Amino acid sequence: MTRRSREVGISKSFVLGAALAAALAVPAQAGDNKLTLSATTAFTTDYVFRGTSLSNNGPAVQPEFDLTYGMFYAGMWGSNINPAGDGIEIDYYAGITPKWKNITFNIGGLAYTYPGATNLDYFELKTGATWASGSWGVSVTNYWSPDNFQLGTQSNAIEGGVGYTFNSKLFNFFTPTVSGLVGYQGFEHTNILPDYTYWNAGLTLGFLEHWSADIRYWDTTYNEVECFTNTGVRSACDGRVVGTIKAVF
């Protein structure tokens, strides 16, 4: 998917790697009744979670492991984070992806944990749906937490995204996808954390079956004071271009 000095990631969003591409994706082999294990490694120039940098405006390495069986999935994801780039975030998630016609639903839970930190771990309930037909994909996803960052405030983030994958390959090598996302992060007590809107747009190039390269612009409605309140870094919410290389096996 706001994180104090913490997320100081998620977009699992699993915000991971290529922003909307990840938001539109469903777990691999979701329609197959067989147990499947996959691993993903991503290197990004900036760990951006819902428009804010959680890696102190610096690069991050993000491994991920996913287990699927039919419509059931579970996994874990990690990244280096703030503060000062020396922290670690490890997220655990599980859920189901039932399908009806061209719509895939996603209902699951995400546990955000920060080993070595105190009173930062929290939980989000994820509910969403993705419509896919031909080269188009449209998604709506909601993330609700009963106690965001254990700060005593409920939070709710809703995101809408759209993506289009071209049928022809670029230079007979790359499969291009253009995508964008708009989200709104709200809090029960805005005196603790201020609400804000975030968005992104970018291009993902798939190649060699398991690899992808993503270039994406992120921005938010936060000013410097609001950004510091949320992340502990005044410049963490500025507009930025993020590059990500990802491999899935």
Q: Which of 120, 136, 119, 25 is nearest to 75 (CA)?
A: 25
Residue 4 clears pLDDT 50, i.e. is over it: no
Q: Tell me what percent of the residues of the chain surpass a pLDDT of 70.
A: 85
Tell me the C-alpha distance between 190 and 2, whole Å.
13
Read off the pLDDT band of 21 (50, 70, 90). very low
**Rounded to whole angstroms, how far apart are CA atoms 145 and 3?**
12
Q: What was the pLDDT predicted at 116? A: 83
Tokens matching residue 238? 């500025």
pTM of the complete model: 0.86
Mean pLDDT of 130-143: 98
Residue 15 three-state SS: coil
Domain membership of residue 138 (yes or no) is yes
Determine, yes or no, domain membership for 5: no
Domain span at residue 241 reads 19-248
Q: Mean pLDDT throughout 205-218? A: 97
pLDDT confidence of 131, banded at 50, 70, 90?
Answer: very high
In this prediction, residues 209-216 reach a mean pLDDT of: 97
Separation between Cα atoms, residue 19 and residue 240, nearest integer Å: 13
For the chain, what percent of residues have pLDDT higher than 90? 79
Helices (H), the chain: 19-24, 224-231
Q: Report the pLDDT averaged over residues 172-196.
A: 96
Q: How confident is the model at residue 19 (pLDDT cuts 50, 70, 90)?
A: very low
Question: Among all chains, which residue has been given the structure tokens 């102190």?
Answer: 56
User: Does 152 reside within a domain?
Assistant: yes
* Interval 198-205 mean pLDDT: 98
Judge whether residue 9 has pLDDT over 70.
no
User: What is the pLDDT averaged over residues 18-35?
Assistant: 48
Distance of CA 102 to the CA centre of its chain: 23
Residue 13 lies in a domain: no
pLDDT higher than threshold 90 for residue 33: no
The widest CA-to-CA distance across the chain, in whole angstroms, is 53
pLDDT tens per residue across span 71-111: 999 999 999 996 545 689 999 999 999 999 999 999 999 99
Q: How far is CA 4 from the centre of its chain?
A: 16
Q: Is residue 3 part of a domain?
A: no
In a domain, 8, yes or no: no
Please, which pLDDT band fits residue 32 given cuts at 50, 70 and 90? low
pLDDT of residue 160: 98
Whichever domain contains 229, its CATH number is 2.40.160.40
- How many separate domains does the chain show? 1
pLDDT of residue 15: 33
Q: Which two tokens stand for residue 9?
A: 């990631």
Over range 54-70, report the average pLDDT: 95
Which class for 182: exposed (0-12), middle (13-18), buried (19 or more C-beta within 10 A)? middle
Q: Looking at the domain assignment, is residue 7 inside a domain?
A: no
Does residue 6 form part of some domain? no
- pLDDT of 28 above 60: no
